Structure 1
Amino acid sequence: MTHSFRSAGRTLAGAFAVALALVPFVHAQSLTPIDRPVAVVEEDVVLRSELDHAVANIKGQYANRTDQLPPDDVLERQVLERLVLNKLQVKRASDSGIKVTDQDVDNALGRIAEGNSLTVDQLRAQVTQGQTWDEFRRSIRDEIMIQQLRQSFAQGRITVSESEVDAAVAAQANNTQYHLANLLVQLPDGATAEQIATGQKKIEGIKALIDKGELEFNAAAVRYSDAPNALEGGDLGWRGLDEIPPTFANVIRSMQTGQVIGPIRGPSGFQLVKLVEQRDATGEGTPVTEFHARHILARVDDAHPETAARQKIETLSARLAGGADFEALAKSDSEDADTKSQGGDLGWFPSDRFGPTFGSQVAALADGGVSKPFRTDAGFHIVQRVGTRQGKTNQSQRAQMREAIGRRKLEDEYNRFLREMRGEAFVEVRLAPVATGEQPAATPAAPADTAPA
């Protein structure tokens, strides 16, 4: 099975977990005389009201740390770039045939409410204090479409070999995890010698401010980084060595907490990297419940419309209910190329291997039981649970390593895809030019790799 299916649902779950706290960027209401476009994005526009709402959300998050934010004109352009990228991704998803049903949005809202210890009605009451419920639903629909675009993009592109997993397990024998942050000064593709020299001078100036204690690292990232995580202070979260590009892994291992290294030249430009903290994630001897299961997949992607996939899986479900053999049906009709020839056999795996939705469906079955059709980012599934056992940590660790390596590869490839899509798109920004007095600040023109590279 490809990595795209293994990670199905996990990235989406992460997006939902923070959706309420961040209040996703929303569609503006109908154009009014006091509203106006601040950017033209292909055949769509970003309205002044959308931008104002999104900027207000960011300022709200930094209510007690306003000194970390750049000047308003720089902040506006950073936020506008996010809105532009969101619109481009939603359009690409729609053009690719990706559709999100009202039920998908309802399920997502239920998970957001549960993650914030709220009922859906309580969530609705909180949301409508700042925006309409319909706007919030549309923003969640867009988030789902973007995540499904990522998964569709990954299919066939992201694979993880057993030798890569072996190397990662050996490298992380101490189970140390690292909380990292980065700051990127981006260089254009095919940068000239002059552009490279300018970029290096800029990041050296930023590093000098940090070293002198005149600016905290996260404040510098908010003000000056060209990476898409700039507004989060460059935060990269917790990562194992397997989730860090090999060229950085040895350096990270020898760093002290709080240390900042760089500037280092990578494919995207010059970077500074900070080790925020580290921890021991050892779980030796912890028993892990593992499942043995088979599945049948009706894929949803550019070549397989959702309606047709839904009809197919319901037909197959009816055949199973009528006594059809699961293994034989998987061999003849499943659209998972990696497991079809084995009758849909997934082998032994921990419940989180294929994402929370798939795991919960398997866990709810008795051995020998067959599920009703259910949806993940890959498409529609029917799963048969073959057996259960108490596994060992090393087997779970290999699954986690495989997942982590795949996420890093997807992150790298998808960010390159975004840069290409942004560069090819027609985007006309209608904001006043940014003042030059805030140097060495830079306004991001396109997304960049968030991992050190």
Structure 2
Amino acid sequence: MPRSPLRARSLLLPLALLLAAPAFGQRAAAQLPPQSQAAAQANRIVAVVNGEVVSRADVIGRARLFALNAGIAVAPETLDRLTPQVTRLLVDERLRMQEVQRRRIPVTDADIADAIGELEKRNNLPPGNLRAQLTQIGVAPRVLYDQIRTQIGWARLLRQQLGPTAEPSEAEVQEAIRSAQARVGEPEYLVSEIFIPVDDPAAEAEARRFVEDVIGQLRRGTPFPIAATQFSQAQTALQGGDMGWVRKEELDPEVFTVIERMPPGAVSNPIRVPGGFQIVALRQKRESGRDLATLITMRQAFFPFAGTLDPNAPTQQQRDQVEKAQRLAAGARGCEAVEAAARGAGGDRPVDPGTIRLETLNPPPLKNLLAGLAPGKASQPILTPDGVLVMMVCSREQRNLAELTPDQAKQQLLRDRVENLSRQLQRDLRRRAQIEMRS
């Protein structure tokens, strides 16, 4: 059985996972070992890929980048365990980038700069700050730049290879929708994956040790998307391992046997599948075609306090802010009024948090509050230590989120083709390549 199809926007958003990574500014330099520990061997060659060198410094740089993202320290023994898999990852990236260059697919410095700028924006970093922070904790900026360049180039190569045949026909879309309707009521699973290939049976034990090390990090709190981005060799790595909603027939039998017994939130042990090892995380379960949700839109106005509130001795500024919130709660007649008040309040909370699924909202008191608010009616002021909040529900609707739309069916078919092509091209590149691994 072929491995599960891609359920992520890897063709369209090759950097989305990187752009969703935790804030770089939150990582302390003390979490990483000093570079001097590895400096003596930094220039040692660990692999030669079609004449292009992968050095020990390259491996150390990628391991340090992983540690930065994951917020973990890389002890020498951990680095030793990571080395074989990181080396393989870099070999595959070299092969991809060589093919991108052979086909003369442009990836400009401006493309990299745009991606870095977006990454800084997502992590609330000022422009140029990311490079400084990478340097500060011992990661050469080119380590991240090279990874981004390869991802952009590979995505463009796949688009070029697929060409006009990538676009599913109307008949294919309708067949996908009919097939989905026939499966209504069957179990579906929201799954993330990390796939570690094993091409040489002699390397299986080494790969298993690496997989178990990754699982250990996951269970100690490393976010699954970060680990998937750095180490998974599936195309889903570009989206943090997200496979989306999958059914029994879309999974390897060995994986499904594990998935159907897992509780949501669990991470599996290593699963041997054709071609390698798979780690899966089960995020949710549902019945196919049935996922009724209450979706709301809302607006909120936050009136900040100049200092932390002491309920027994509020300052005059805090009293004034509470009075403003009370007037808004009593007088607002629509979401436009809440928006206008928020613009003048100077708060730092988003006025429009976007569409919210009520059933999954936390904490429960907040969910209960919004569930009880009629659209267009403001909440009573909500007092917090740093300010006072007024919320209003703008719209509320019931929707079946599991119903497959024509656009979703088209994107799903396209992603499947991208994933299959990516795997095939990577296998072909390895088969044709001259790769010399050095101890």
Q: TM-score, normalised by structure 2?
A: 0.51
Contact 1:178 1:238 in 2 (8 A): yes
Task: Find the counterpart in structure 1 of residue 429 from structure 2.
Answer: 421
Report matched runs for 1:77-156 at 5 Å.
77-129=84-136, 130-131=138-139, 137-155=145-163
Partner secondary structure for residue 87 of structure 2: helix
Find 2:242's aligned residue among 237, 240, 249. 237
User: How far 1:240 sits from its partner (Å)?
Assistant: 0.7
Distance in 2 (alpha carbons) for counterparts of 1:272 and 1:156: 34
User: How far 1:94 sits from its partner (Å)?
Assistant: 0.9
User: How far 1:96 sits from its partner (Å)?
Assistant: 0.6
Q: Which has the larger radius of gyration?
A: 2
Task: Find the counterpart in structure 1 of residue 324 from structure 2.
Answer: none
Task: Find the counterpart in structure 1 of residue 16 from structure 2.
Answer: 13
Task: Find the counterpart in structure 1 of residue 395 from structure 2.
Answer: none
2:191 corresponds to 1:179: yes
Distance in 1 (alpha carbons) for counterparts of 2:210 and 2:58: 31
Partner secondary structure for residue 54 of structure 1: helix
Change (3 A) 1:79 1:410: same
User: How far 1:95 sits from its partner (Å)?
Assistant: 0.8
One-letter amino acid of the structure 2 residue matched with residue 423 of structure 1: R
Distance in 1 (alpha carbons) for counterparts of 2:61 and 2:217: 27
Change (3 A) 1:21 1:414: farther
Task: Find the counterpart in structure 1 of residue 263 from structure 2.
Answer: 257
Distance in 1 (alpha carbons) for counterparts of 2:218 and 2:109: 42
Contact 2:232 2:241 in 1 (8 A): no
Change (3 A) 1:216 1:169: farther
Task: Find the counterpart in structure 1 of residue 176 from structure 2.
Answer: 164
Question: What is the CA deviation profile of residues 95-153 of structure 1, one whole-angstrom value per residue up to 9, with x for unaligned ones?
Answer: 11101233323322222122112232333432342445566545533332232223323
User: How far 1:415 sits from its partner (Å)?
Assistant: 1.8
Deviates more, 1:131-140 or 1:112-121: 131-140
Question: What is the CA deviation profile of residues 361-410 of structure 1, one whole-angstrom value per residue up to 9, with x for unaligned ones?
Answer: xxxxxxxxxxxxxxxxxxxxxxxxxxxxxxx9789733223323432342
Distance in 2 (alpha carbons) for counterparts of 1:80 and 1:71: 14
RMSD, aligned CA: 5.2
Identity %: 21
Change (3 A) 1:131 1:39: same
User: How far 1:17 sits from its partner (Å)?
Assistant: 3.6
User: How far 1:90 sits from its partner (Å)?
Assistant: 0.9
Question: What is the CA deviation profile of residues 172-225 of structure 1, one whole-angstrom value per residue up to 9, with x for unaligned ones?
Answer: 66895513446667466xx8xxx9xx979x98x999x99xxx979869x99xxx
Distance in 2 (alpha carbons) for counterparts of 1:216 and 1:45: 29
Contact 1:262 1:272 in 2 (8 A): yes
Task: Find the counterpart in structure 1 of residue 380 from structure 2.
Answer: none
Partner secondary structure for residue 106 of structure 2: coil
Contact 2:188 2:248 in 1 (8 A): no
User: How far 1:46 sits from its partner (Å)?
Assistant: 1.2
Task: Find the counterpart in structure 2 of residue 340 from structure 1.
Answer: none
Find 1:268's aligned residue among 257, 261, 275. 275
Distance in 2 (alpha carbons) for counterparts of 1:135 and 1:263: 28
One-letter amino acid of the structure 2 residue matched with residue 237 of structure 1: D
One-letter amino acid of the structure 2 residue matched with residue 398 of structure 1: P
Distance in 1 (alpha carbons) for counterparts of 2:423 and 2:22: 21
Task: Find the counterpart in structure 1 of residue 360 from structure 2.
Answer: none
Contact 1:37 1:46 in 2 (8 A): yes
Contact 2:193 2:242 in 1 (8 A): yes
Partner secondary structure for residue 54 of structure 2: strand
User: How far 1:81 sits from its partner (Å)?
Assistant: 1.0
Contact 2:189 2:282 in 1 (8 A): no
Find 1:228's aligned residue among 225, 230, 233. 233
Distance in 1 (alpha carbons) for counterparts of 2:430 and 2:123: 34
Aligned residues: 295
Task: Find the counterpart in structure 2 of residue 47 from structure 1.
Answer: 55
Q: TM-score, normalised by structure 1?
A: 0.49
Distance in 2 (alpha carbons) for counterparts of 1:86 and 1:74: 20
Change (3 A) 1:172 1:247: farther
2:406 corresponds to 1:398: yes
Question: What is the CA deviation profile of residues 33-88 of structure 1, one whole-angstrom value per residue up to 9, with x for unaligned ones?
Answer: 97232211113111222222122233445555879x98543411110111111111
Change (3 A) 1:199 1:104: closer
Contact 2:61 2:140 in 1 (8 A): no
Deviates more, 1:89-98 or 1:242-251: 242-251
Distance in 2 (alpha carbons) for counterparts of 1:85 and 1:398: 35
Change (3 A) 1:8 1:18: same
User: How far 1:426 sits from its partner (Å)?
Assistant: 0.9
Change (3 A) 1:406 1:70: farther
Change (3 A) 1:228 1:90: same
Task: Find the counterpart in structure 2 of residue 58 from structure 1.
Answer: 66
Distance in 2 (alpha carbons) for counterparts of 1:403 and 1:74: 38
Contact 2:45 2:438 in 1 (8 A): yes
Partner secondary structure for residue 128 of structure 2: helix
Change (3 A) 1:21 1:421: farther
Deviates more, 1:421-430 or 1:239-248: 239-248
Change (3 A) 1:152 1:175: farther
Deviates more, 1:72-81 or 1:238-247: 238-247
